[in-house]
Amino acid sequence: MSFPAFMLSLVVITGLIWLLDKLVLAPKRASNQAEPLFVEYAKSFFPIILAVLVIRSFIAEPFRIPSASMVPTLHIGDFILVNKFSYGLRLPVTNTKIIEMEQPKRGDVVVFRYPPKPGIDYIKRVVGLPGDRVGYFNKTIYINGEAIRQDEHEKTVEHLGIVPTSHTLKYEHLGALGHQIALAPNMQRKEVDIIIPEGEYFVMGDNRDNSSDSRFWGTVPEKNLVGKAFYIWMSWDCNVSWACIAWNRLGNSIN
């Protein structure tokens, strides 16, 4: 059972117990008789569980970064928040869209359900929009025949231990805001040339030579989108300090 399904089940169970007590049990109890313990628990936890379900389903959901595929933008151990209404409000469990909002933009960092195994959440950057022709050759993205510019970028203290010394950093001008990418000069990954179908998106990791993305398993259907990543609220990595918290990453927005 998925977490949303589990939370929805708890809301239904505690809500029904509360309703049953109000309509059936409470009228039959003597004025000096205490509530059954299970009723007391249900009444206490119902509003809390409902609030958590509503917030996670319609406002923001936390995720933890488990891999290095989005380095240097996101590091292993980053805890991020994902805006759940950026691309439309969806019902929990069924993921049915009930309110249309904006569409993903080129350069957005998005969380989505991995198409080959929808029970797994992935995070990547949107590169190609519906109808685009996307090419990736010699470590350069081409959108509708135009190469996306990359500028040289120096490594900083923040990158030490995160980006391998053999990798180079570049600043890629994709979308309204640019972002850093990591490239392994001596490694050549799969090259592609594809026209993106309607209602689907081509995504890639910023760690271009260490990312399983649309180059390998195809595009992401719009129905698989979970939301837009926008904020790092915690970063836990015992390689960066004795306290294991990467303080310089807390509160950073995600571009």
Q: Where are the beta strands (DSSP E) in 103-154?
A: 109-113, 121-128, 133-137, 140-143, 146-147, 150-153
Give the residue from 23, 29, 87, 19 showing the smallest Cα distance to 58. Answer: 87
Is 124 designated active site?
yes
Look at residue 58 and give its three-state secondary structure. Answer: helix
Measure the CA–CA gap between 55 and 193, rounded to whole angstroms.
Answer: 40
Token pair of 118 as six digits: 């929808």
Question: What is the distance between the alpha carbons of residues 172 and 79, in angstroms, rounded to a whole number?
Answer: 24
Nearest to 165 by CA among 173, 175, 155: 155
Residue among 57, 69, 86, 214 flagged as catalytic: 69
- Residue of 57, 84, 86, 124 with catalytic role: 124
Q: Is 210 helix (H, G, I), strand (E, B) or coil?
A: coil
The set of catalytic residues is 69, 124
